[in-house]
Amino acid sequence: MNFSYKNILENAYHEIQQKDNDGKIATYIPELAHVAPSKFGAHMTCLDGTSLGIGDHIEKFSIQSIAKVLSLTLAYKLVGETLWERVDVEPSGTKFDSLLLLETYKGVPRNPFINSGAIVICDILISQLDNAKEAFLHFVRDLSDLPNLTYSDKIADSEKRTGFRNVALCNFIKSLGNIKNDPDDVLDFYFDMCSLEMTCQQLSHTFMFLANDGCKVSDGKPIITVNKSKRINALMLTCGFYDESGEFAFRVGLPGKSGVGGGIVALYPDNYTIAVWSPLLNEHGNSCKAMKLLEEVTTHSEMSIF
């Protein structure tokens, strides 16, 4: 089986690398615009210990919104089901940075993966932890087995200078009563959280706990319960790609999460995780090549949740 994964991954990679050059690099965070558009890598980690990589899979990139899954995990672990009083679990059908539905739903974001939802999650973490920035970093260091992981000041500072929409979102939610802390502190943490950098290999390794009933694979440590892990995966399937979540489920058939750095991580519970990176994005902010590669892999391996 693993031999076939290797062939499938290699065939899909070479085919897509040759043909596909659609999409645009994210420039609204100026630092992201410096990345070479030709970067393309993928890494798959299987529960049986198999680890397969191709292309630029050991080069670091900005994981951006992919980190929202990790902040949700920590907040959910800390506050349990009361979390859903602050953030809903419905697909938004809108762009990741949309303000539109906040007024309708009285400051309760539709889900934790759009920017508004992730900002509320940051607010919850600040309320729960003495030093949320440090505690979150510590949590991700443990999950990823990367003890030296740090926030990228370059990327965070770049977004802090231009993230006017996020400033608007946070202040708007504050005015509606669903941000409890100082908006400047919440945004500062949010931008740092989005600035984390990992390689495809590291990202695939980090997400293994969600393919393993909430337990780390490297040391067996329980991170979250089976039920919470199920629910986070359900949210990735229904909301992980914003207004393209239906399309991703339709084409790929796995829970996953994208980021404007061009990364996508997807997973098949009890089987594998896969991280793909190519910085050229479609109009929904999702990587064109990464989506295509994942579609090829699940179609040819017949290993999706459907």
Residues noted as catalytic = 65, 68, 190, 242, 260
Candidate list 31, 56, 123, 159; residue touching ligand DON; CB under 6 A: 159
**What would you report as the CA-atom Rg of the chain, rounded to the nearest whole angstrom?**
18
Residue nearest to ligand DON as judged by C-beta position: 65
Residue 262 in contact with residue 290, Cβ under 8 Å? yes
Task: Provide, rounded to whole angstroms, the least separation between the CB of residue 209 and ligand DON.
Answer: 21
Determine how β-strand 256-258 pairs with β-strand 51-55.
unpaired
User: CB 258 → ligand DON: shortest distance, Å?
Assistant: 4
Q: How far, in Å, are 29, 89, 183, 277, 293 from residue 20 at the CA level?
A: 24, 34, 41, 14, 10
Which residue in the set 5, 70, 92, 97 belongs to the binding site for ligand DON (CB under 6 A)?
Answer: 97
Minimum CB separation of residue 169 from ligand DON in Å reads: 9
Alpha helix segments (H runs only) across 129-274: 132-144, 153-162, 164-175, 183-194, 200-206, 208-211, 226-239, 245-251
- Cβ proximity to ligand DON: between 27 and 82 the closer is 27
Nearest alpha carbon to residue 252 among 297, 213, 289: 297
245 forms part of the interface with ligand DON (CB under 6 A): no
76 is in an annotated binding site: no
| Alpha carbons 23 and 3: distance in angstroms, whole number | 32
Q: Which of 115/199 has CB closer to ligand DON? A: 115
Residue 14 CB: number of other CB atoms within 10 A?
12
Instruction: Calculate ∠ Cα 112-115-117, nearest 5°.
Output: 30
List the interface residues with ligand DON, window 43-82 (CB under 6 A): 64-65
Mask 250-279, x = binds ligand DON (CB under 6 A)?
A: --------xxx-------------------
Secondary structure letter of residue 33 according to DSSP: G
Cα–Cα distance between 5 and 115 in angstroms, integer? 34
Residue 115 counted as an annotated binding residue: yes
115 touching ligand DON, by CB under 6 A: yes
x/- string (CB under 6 A) for ligand DON, residues 181-220? -------------x--------------------------
Which residues participate in the annotated binding site for substrate?
65, 115, 159, 166, 190, 242, 260
The residues binding ligand DON (CB under 6 A) are 64-65, 96-97, 115, 159, 166, 194, 258-260, 285-286
